[in-house]
Amino acid sequence: PPAQVAGPGTDYATDDPFTSDRTNWFRQDRFGMFIHFGSYSNWEGEYRRPDGSVCRNAEWIKRECGIPMDAYEKQAATFNPADFDAKAVVKAAKDAGMRYIVITSKHHEGYAMWPTKVNSWNLRDHSAFDKNRDILAELKQATTAAGIKLGFYYSIWDWHDPDFASPTTFPKYEQRMYAQLKELVDGYHPDLLWFDGEWSTENPHNPWSERDGERLESYLHGLSPDLVVNNRVGKRRVVDGDYGTPEQEIPAAPVDGQLWESCMTLNDHWGYARYDQNWKSSTTLVRNLLATTSRSGNYLLNVGPDARGRIPQPSVDRLRQMGDWLRTSGQGEAVYGARYGGLVDEPAWGSVSRKGDKLYAAVTQWPSGGAALHLKARTAFDVKAARVLGSGQQVRVTKAGDGFDIRPSGAATNAVATVVELTVNPGP
Ligand code: JFZ
């Protein structure tokens, strides 16, 4: 007989506050690729100062290494990412199991990665790149062909536009920014815009205000009502845009009532840095994705193409390993379309997500000596069936006190994660 246990309960179908809005795909897809690519990539992370010393950074190299604007512009004029291959990028994303891509269309350096008509500080007009190519258009074509979504990162903060930094000239900058965003939305039909650089800074002063954020958001939805927009569009973070953007961290507990996406690097930099070989393991990355899903968030994992436009091989390898894991025996079911599992406490042994009448307990650390894992969820439900995805491992599920116990039968194998799929009743 099925164990009567305390479980996620009858609110499965109804406790999702975001049922049929424009963020529907975003909540299902869960896993995306971030791409930091700009004229900074042409430095490959190293600036040799006039005195011969070397300063290291990535997309902040201009500012952190104090590169004078004329030297920075001179370097950008040699930028030739001839090996950028949108199909290969999309293939790397697909192989990883990623379902959307967000690329920097303009980072803080102000350099546009598409042929903007607003200024000449862009990849067509200020580079050594093929004037007939447009990498954003290529990416749009490749993502559409592959059936995945495309979004653009756009920095409000701009180090290049002289009108940015003074409140008197700022409206002129803002007008150009609106024009650029219209080019992006009308020209490439992105599914998502990822703003950044809305935060207060001095040196230069950042005049972006709460009012500016609200106005921009409604402008964008006027252009395209279905656009998903992140919270960094405005100053207030929690209530601006469609979703929150914790950076380089996964919240320790589920977040209810607001969508969110953790963005994270594969090594220690967003932009390409040739000296940085501190790669996260694919085991860590898969576990991060599972933890994120179990707290109802998305995972946006970054790659930084080099000066020629190639994604570093160690990144491609790790992404491939993640995809291999997700594709194995339906383990990806614990991620796509899944969310917070409804447990009372965050388990120390792994994470739990749910989808429909399925609970996915992803065990990363079995207790020693064959001891049970205990699941205590919010309201009572039955377990109708239990099986391990991706391996022949057997488990026993029994009712225990205020929840239920899962025990491996035989030796537990500590893999990347052992996904125990529980069919529960009531379902949605
Ligand atoms: C920003 C950028 O400055 C950085 O280069 C990168 O693009 C990253 C994804 O976003 O960095 C931030 C943004 C927000 C915070 C910290 C760094 N924050 O809210 O603490």
What's the 196 CA to ligand 1 centre distance in angstroms?
7
Give CB contacts under 8 A, 24+ apart, made by 282-286: 282/318, 282/321, 282/322, 282/325, 282/416, 283/416, 285/318, 285/322, 286/322, 286/325, 286/326, 286/416, 286/417
Q: How far is the CA of 217 from the centre of ligand 1 (A)?
A: 20
Residue 362, domain CATH:
2.60.40.1180
Kindly list the distances between the CA atom of residue 273 and the CA atoms of 35, 47, 91, 391, in Å, as whole numbers in the listed order.
14, 11, 23, 38
Q: How far is CA 184 from CA 87, 93, 150, in A?
A: 20, 22, 12
Give the pTM. 0.94
Domain that holds residue 161: 19-334
pLDDT value for 10 = 27
The tens digit of pLDDT for each residue in 350-406 reads: 999 999 899 999 999 998 887 899 988 777 778 999 999 988 788 999 988 878 899
User: What's residue 426's pLDDT?
Assistant: 64
Question: Is the domain of 243 the same as that of 365?
Answer: no
Q: How far apart are CA 237 and CA 217, in angstroms?
A: 13
User: Among 282, 307, 334, where does a domain finish?
Assistant: 334
**pLDDT confidence of residue 135:** 98
Whether the bond into 50 is cis, omega within 30 of 0: no
CA–centroid distance, residue 248 to ligand 1 (Å): 9
**Hey, what amino acid is at 142?**
A
Q: Could you say which of 334, 369, 392 is where a domain stops?
A: 334
Give me the phi and psi of 203, to 5 degrees please. 55, 70
User: ipTM value of the model?
Assistant: 0.94
Cβ burial 311-320 (10 Å sphere, 16+ → b, else e): bbeebbebbb
Q: Total structural domains in the chain?
A: 2
Residue 285 belongs to domain with CATH number: 3.20.20.80
Indicate which residue's Cα is closest to atom 3 of ligand 1: 197
Give the end of a domain, one of 293, 317, 334: 334
Q: Which of 154, 156, 270 to mutate to test the pocket of ligand 1 (most atoms within 8 A of CB)?
A: 270
Statement to judge: residues 151 and 47 lie in one domain: yes
C-beta 247 within 6 A of ligand 1: yes
Q: Which residues of the chain have a pLDDT value below 70? A: 1-20, 237-238, 256, 414, 426-428
